[in-house]
């Protein structure tokens, strides 16, 4: 996670907190994390990540690694 620049990769808002998305390699703020958890495929994304880690893949790009995520919640 060394490419954190202080701004959420998904919404662009400055944040002191970040975590990696379960859908791709975006480093996201807590509001984007909360929004991500509401996605109908969230459970599938978490399970896919867990399975990859259990198989030794610590660099799984996520089930939506080729998609651009853009969610607006900071208005």
- What are the structural domain ranges in the chain? 1-58
3-class state of residue 22 by DSSP:
coil
b/e burial code for range 25-64 (CB count within 10 A of at least 16 → b) = ebbbbebbbebbeeeeeeeebeebbeebeeeeeeebebbb
Q: What is the mean pLDDT of residues 39-59?
A: 96
Residue 70 has pLDDT above 60, yes or no: no
pLDDT in tens, 21-48: 999 999 999 999 999 999 999 999 999 9
Identify the pLDDT of residue 10: 92
- pTM to 2 decimals? 0.80
pLDDT category of residue 74 using cuts at 50, 70 and 90: low
Identify the pLDDT of residue 67: 67
């Amino acid at each position: 996670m060394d490419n954190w620049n202080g701004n959420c990769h998904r919404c662009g808002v400055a944040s002191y907190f970040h975590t990696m998305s379960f859908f791709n390699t975006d480093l996201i703020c807590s509001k984007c994390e909360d929004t991500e958890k509401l996605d109908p495929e969230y459970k599938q994304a978490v399970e896919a990540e867990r399975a990859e880690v259990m198989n030794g893949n610590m660099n799984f790009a996520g089930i939506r690694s080729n998609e651009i995520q853009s969610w607006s919640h900071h208005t």
